[in-house]
Amino acid sequence: MKPLISVIIPAHNSAQTLKRAVLSIQKQTCENLQIIIIDDFSTDDTLEIAHDIAKEDPRIEVYKSEFDDPSRYDDDLKRNINAGYSARNTGFKYAKGEYITFQDADDVSLLNRVEIQYELLIKYNATHVCTDWQDFDKKLVGTYAKVETENVYIGPKEIYKISQRSKGLIAKISKKINALIPFHIKRRRIINKLFFGSLEPYPGAGNSPLFKKEVIEKVQFRPLKDRIWPSFLGRGADRDFNFQVVETFKNSYYFPIKTYLWKTKH
């Protein structure tokens, strides 16, 4: 049997999609899972649905996020900029597995996603592995990913280079100074070049990496003001987390195997 893997599922007002997302994890070919649903201050029936699902599967645990970020919604950017980051940190506190991954409550994993990531992590002696995503398609729900390009990957040295190219000058000089400047100021014309490096995304599905539990001893998700690698339009919690792991452990891999269905339009 494979070692226990903890799957953290942050859920905010996900009543319409949570069952489908959780089912894609329940049916994984890798069955030794701890499935942790974190209700992120939902105002719909998300929490009730989560408890109902948990009654059917002893692997499922349900908790509430410990911190509701008052700056969740940015009036200037007119968007949710802090979705899920604190819920994921809450999930870390309950994770018992030797390895940890995530599942967004409005997306779906192909049924061998976790097994593929685990096998690659072991084979390459990696600390942190990302695979790829494709647009959500109902026809692909409940199917399996094809492993055709395992030997085509981006390894630790190249991903580390990407992390450094993507790091702004101010953050390289001082994390404290970087955190003191409001995000809407960081984005201003001309001055933004001091706070943003290259804007290239983290390679692959940055919302669903698999990594060793030791990672969370040194790396946590951060609020927007503290992020070194945010997206230019706000949020970027996943991008910031993954690049933190890259910089801290220098042992990350990306494999272009499409294992995740991302619902880009909601």
- DSSP annotation of 200 reads P
What is residue 124's predicted lDDT score, i.e. its pLDDT? 96
Identify which has the larger pLDDT, 65 or 72: 65
pLDDT in the model for residue 28: 98
pLDDT above 90: percentage of residues in the chain? 84
Over its C-alpha atoms, the chain yields an Rg (Å, rounded) of 18
Tell me what pLDDT residue 99 has.
Answer: 98
Residue linked to tokens 């647009």: 135
User: 34 exposed, middle or buried (CB, 10 Å; 0-12, 13-18, 19+)?
Assistant: middle
Per-residue confidence (pLDDT) for residue 266, from 0 to 100:
46
Q: Point out the least confidently predicted range of 53-57, 63-67, 99-103.
A: 63-67
Q: What is the pLDDT of residues 165-187, one digit of tens each?
A: 999 999 999 999 999 999 889 99
pLDDT, the chain, mean: 93
- What mean pLDDT comes out for the span 218-222? 96
Its pTM stands at: 0.95
| Confidence at residue 233, expressed as pLDDT on a 0 to 100 scale | 83
**Residue 117's Cα: distance from chain center in Å?**
14
pLDDT value for 68? 74
Q: Parallel, antiparallel, or unpaired for β 99-102 and 79-80?
A: unpaired
pLDDT exceeds cutoff 80 at 69: no
Does residue 79 carry a pLDDT above 80? Answer: no
> What average pLDDT does range 35-44 have in this prediction?
96
| Count, residues in the chain | 266
DSSP state of 154: B
All domains of the chain in start order, with CATH: 5-262 (3.90.550.10)
- DSSP readout, 88-104? HHHHHHH--SSEEEE--
What local confidence, expressed as pLDDT, does residue 16 receive? 96
Q: Is the pLDDT of residue 51 over 60?
A: yes
| pLDDT tens per residue across span 93-142 | 999 999 999 999 999 999 999 999 999 999 999 999 999 999 999 999 99
Closest CA to 113 of 177, 27, 185: 27
Residue 97's pLDDT is what? Answer: 98
pLDDT the model gives residue 202: 97
Q: Say if residues 163 and 243 touch (Cβ distance below 8 Å).
A: yes
pLDDT of 72 > 70? The answer is: no
Above 70 in pLDDT, residue 194?
yes
pLDDT the model gives residue 240: 97
